[in-house]
Chains A and B, each alone.
Chain A
Amino acid sequence: MTRVGLRTFSLVVLIAAPLMAQQTDGRLEQLERRLDDLSRQATEIRQELNRLKGQQPPAPAPQPQPEDLTKVEVVPAPQPAVGPLPTAAATQIPPPQALTDVQTVNNVINPAASKVFNPDTSVIGNFIGRAGQRNPFEFGSDNERPPLGFDEAEIAFQAYVDPYAKANFFFSITPGGIDLEEGYANFVTLPYDLTAKVGKMKAFFGKDNTWHTHVRPWVDQPLVIHNFFGDEGLNDTGVSVSKVIPNPWNTFLEATGEVFSGHVPDVFERRGPNDLFYNAHLKAFRDITENNNIEVGTSYARGALAGAPGGNSQFGGIDVTYRWKPLQRGLYNSFIGRLEAITNHRNDFDRNLKGFYASADYQLDRRWFAGVRVDAADRPIISTEGLAPVHFTDRGASGTITFWPSEFSQIRGQLRRTRYGDVGRSVNEFLVQLQFAIGAHGAHAF
């Protein structure tokens, strides 16, 4: 290239470069404007889409208006109304329905509805383990009560018979077989403030004698109950009538009279048609404050003496129960103190036999309970060889700890020391108990 050519090329470049730069700036501005247009269009399209979708633009969510409670009506119940209500509307006679418009009714039949008449059924299992020194005096040989084993299952059936009575059946299944522990009709709608029970039942004597195994706060029976009444307690077939006695002292007073057929193994024996067993109980209950109360009972029982050719046996008893349960902390802490003393007059003894137990149980926490009990009771020994009957005094002391995993199960340990009067030595044992319930078991009376 010549020198003239180079100068011309440089001149063209110098002139053209600004012109090209001006063209590029214009395109950028155009692009920016187009981008702005596109952005605005996108916003408009988004708003249009939102409008079509029914979406509201972001705004504070409105608070729901309170329901007008003056317009609230009851939720229709599945049960029939109790009766016509005395309103003005109810007294107006509605016009007769046109029977030409009647349609069939589509009733839904519940095939399980009739099962509501089945009785409440429950099973309560009771397993007991034992460790420590042998105790043939109370439990027999070790073969009869293994170190750990099934002790009893209580099967209960409870239901209303009709508008007048409620039936209660409690069967006791033990390794020895099945037995009707209680089975009675409870008449709860009698006049004159009366209630009555007819059937096989525990006599209303004191407190412990009325309890089922799962209600008792100990693994075992107190000595006085065991020595005087045996494993099954005062339990017979008969009639029981109770009446509340009105009084001006704001105290619950209830008198109970009972007549039984007269057969309680090793206690009463029915030798003739008139050898019935009678029992009477008077119970007084009073709230001291809303957190504590006291109950005092007296009992008297009489029947033909078992194992003797004649004569009778009479029992007199007194029971006192003090309860403390602060209402607000009642789930976690409570206390029950009990005292029950019994005296027994037998024709074959020249003096009365006596016995008692006293106990205290404290609830440590929602599921933990601890208790102590002291016992003393005479034990009659009847000779089968014609010798004069004798008696010895047994004494005992126990400590218990109980854990309730739930309302329906409990684990209890009991450390027990018993001194038997006839052999003059003590037996130390540790008893452990597991109880659990399934099914619907009616609440027990207080």
Chain B
Amino acid sequence: MKRIAWLTVASILFSGSLFAANKLKVVTTTQDLASITREVGGDRVDVTSIARGYQDPHFVEPKPSFLLLLKNADLLEVVGLELEIGWLPPLLDQCRNNNIRPGTPGYLDLSQGVEILDRPSVVNRSMGDVHPLGNPHYWLDPANAVRIAIQVRNRLAQLQPADTAYFDQHLQNFKVRINDANKRWMAQMAPYRGAKIVDYHPSLPNFAKHFGLDIVGTIEPKPGIPPSPSHTLEIINLIKTQHVKAILMEPYFDRKTPDFVAAQTGAKVVVIYPSVGGKPGLDDYFKLFDYDIDVLTKALR
């Protein structure tokens, strides 16, 4: 009897490992890519993100524990446009996984098929920490979310052709769901088209373009450079003269300067979450936008 019990346990464990082996192991650099990949891949993928939604994705520490994740990955999805340049290259060089190196089917740079804004024609470091290939925060446009999903579907189908129809169906479901959600978001934001806003870091151009917001200023004098007193005064004057109602900032930046500017101008500080997982409850791409649109429309009223 005991032998049978052991055999049963062993067979369950063994079958579990076989079942797990059928799932593609996907590692994404951000939780936004992870969320969209789960939409497309369903239960045929096992998705893990390196960066958390509440941390600045520019500054992730390339910890050895991430090497263990990457070592076993079938697919690595990256935002690209040098968002991860400060931490991903040493991980890729040390992870001992040739299947996810750039140029292989296991490496997917999703910036390749999306609409990219803010491509500078001239760039040098006197302009701050500018991304020379364009603004990497493109996932904050729901249309780009669809473009990401299409690319994910194509790559998953390439890596696991037997599940192509499954991925197609999930992609179509995602398109329908996000199209419906987008109609709702656009309707909520419709009264505020053309509203002038100030952001903390230039991470919202795609979001602003999609919803018709006008970003008239940025708390950082230059990307990656903390606010200076003189620039803060300029922003205060700008908000007063342009009647800006809201200052949008990411949760990982310090509130000191935005709060000071708000106190001087009457504008509201809105913590807008740029990524899935930015706070408890923002578990997927839809909940992220539901939340952000809600807080933004309340601030712009």
Mark A residues whose CB is within 8 Å of B: 63-64, 66-70, 72-77, 79, 82-83, 85-87, 166, 186, 188-190, 193-195, 244, 250, 252, 254, 283, 285-287, 290, 293, 295, 323, 325, 327-332, 366-367, 406-408, 438, 442-446
Tell me whether A446 and B183 are in contact in the complex, defined as CB-CB below 8 angstroms, given that A188-B94, A330-B59 are known contacts.
no
Q: Which residues of A contact B54 (CB under 8 A)?
A: 327-328
Residue in A73, A75, A290, A325 whose Cβ sees the most chain B Cβ within 10 Å:
A75
Tell me whether A86 and B157 are in contact in the complex, defined as CB-CB below 8 angstroms, given that A74-B151, A290-B52 are known contacts.
yes
Q: Which residues of A contact B101 (CB under 8 A)?
A: 189
B113–A75 touching, CB < 8 Å: yes
Nearest A residue (CB) for B85: A443
16 A-B pairs in the complex with CB atoms less than 8 angstroms apart = A69-B179, A70-B172, A70-B179, A74-B150, A83-B105, A83-B158, A188-B93, A195-B93, A252-B67, A286-B65, A328-B55, A330-B59, A331-B253, A366-B254, A407-B224, A443-B62
Nearest A residue (CB) for B143: A72
Tell me whether A77 and B105 are in contact in the complex, defined as CB-CB below 8 angstroms, given that A330-B56, A442-B89 are known contacts.
no
* Closest-CB distance, B101 to chain A (whole angstroms): 7
Nearest A residue (CB) for B153: A85
- Residue from B56, B61, B143, B176 in contact with A331 in the complex, judged by beta carbons closer than 8 Å: B56
- Residue from B128, B176, B193, B226 in contact with A366 in the complex, judged by beta carbons closer than 8 Å: B226
* Closest-CB distance, A118 to chain B (whole angstroms): 15
- Residue from B113, B128, B252 in contact with A74 in the complex, judged by beta carbons closer than 8 Å: B113
Tell me whether A285 and B65 are in contact in the complex, defined as CB-CB below 8 angstroms, given that A66-B186, A193-B71, A444-B90 are known contacts.
yes
Interface residues of B in 84-133 (CB under 8 A from A): 85-87, 89-90, 93-94, 96, 98, 101, 105, 112-116, 125, 128-129
Nearest B residue (CB) for A409: B125
Interface residues of B in 31-73 (CB under 8 A from A): 52, 54-56, 59, 61-65, 67-68, 71
Task: Known A-B contacts: A77-B112, A330-B252, A442-B89. Give 20 more (CB < 8 A).
Answer: A69-B179, A72-B143, A74-B150, A74-B151, A77-B113, A82-B158, A86-B157, A86-B164, A87-B164, A190-B96, A195-B96, A244-B96, A293-B65, A325-B61, A327-B55, A330-B59, A366-B226, A442-B90, A443-B86, A446-B64
Q: Could you mark each residue 247-262 of chain B with 1 if its beta carbon is under 8 Å from any beta carbon of chain A, else 0?
A: 0000111100000000
Nearest B residue (CB) for A446: B62
Indicate if B146 sits at the interface (CB-CB under 8 A): yes
Cα(A371)–Cα(B252), bound, Å: 24
B96–A329 touching, CB < 8 Å: no
Q: Which residues of B contact A290 (CB under 8 A)?
A: 52
B85–A331 touching, CB < 8 Å: no
A69–B68 touching, CB < 8 Å: no
B61–A446 touching, CB < 8 Å: yes
Q: Which residues of B contact A327 (CB under 8 A)?
A: 52, 54-55, 252
Q: Which residues of A contact B224 (CB under 8 A)?
A: 406-407
Indicate if B154 sits at the interface (CB-CB under 8 A): yes
B96–A328 touching, CB < 8 Å: no
* Closest-CB distance, A99 to chain B (whole angstroms): 31
Q: Which residues of B contact A408 (CB under 8 A)?
A: 125
Mark B residues whose CB is within 8 Å of A: 52, 54-56, 59, 61-65, 67-68, 71, 85-87, 89-90, 93-94, 96, 98, 101, 105, 112-116, 125, 128-129, 142-143, 146-147, 150-151, 154-155, 157-158, 161, 164, 172, 175-176, 178-179, 182-183, 186-187, 190, 193, 212, 224-226, 251-254
A166–B93 touching, CB < 8 Å: yes
Q: Which residues of A contact B155 (CB under 8 A)?
A: 82
B90–A69 touching, CB < 8 Å: no
Q: Which residues of B contact A286 (CB under 8 A)?
A: 65
- Residue from A64, A194, A293, A443 in contact with B90 in the complex, judged by beta carbons closer than 8 Å: A443
Tell me whether A75 and B114 are in contact in the complex, defined as CB-CB below 8 angstroms, given that A290-B52, A328-B55 are known contacts.
yes
- Residue from B125, B175, B253 in contact with A69 in the complex, judged by beta carbons closer than 8 Å: B175
Q: Which residues of A contact B178 (CB under 8 A)?
A: 69
Q: Which residues of A contact B68 (CB under 8 A)?
A: 250, 252
A82–B183 touching, CB < 8 Å: no
Q: Which residues of A contact B93 (CB under 8 A)?
A: 166, 186, 188, 195, 445
- Residue from A64, A79, A293 in contact with B112 in the complex, judged by beta carbons closer than 8 Å: A79
Q: Which residues of B contact A254 (CB under 8 A)?
A: 64
A69–B113 touching, CB < 8 Å: no
A330–B55 touching, CB < 8 Å: yes
Nearest B residue (CB) for A408: B125
Nearest B residue (CB) for A286: B65
B96–A446 touching, CB < 8 Å: no
- Residue from A73, A194, A323, A325 in contact with B147 in the complex, judged by beta carbons closer than 8 Å: A73
- Residue from A76, A244, A446 in contact with B63 in the complex, judged by beta carbons closer than 8 Å: A446
Q: Which residues of A contact B164 (CB under 8 A)?
A: 86-87
Q: Which residues of A contact B147 (CB under 8 A)?
A: 72-75
Tell me whether A446 and B151 are in contact in the complex, defined as CB-CB below 8 angstroms, given that A83-B158, A285-B64 are known contacts.
no
Q: Which residues of A contact B182 (CB under 8 A)?
A: 66-67, 69
Nearest B residue (CB) for A63: B190
Residue in B64, B114, B226, B252 whose Cβ sees the most chain A Cβ within 10 Å:
B64
Q: Which residues of B contact A195 (CB under 8 A)?
A: 93-94, 96
* Closest-CB distance, B214 to chain A (whole angstroms): 15
Q: Which residues of A contact B86 (CB under 8 A)?
A: 443
Nearest A residue (CB) for B146: A72
A70–B175 touching, CB < 8 Å: yes
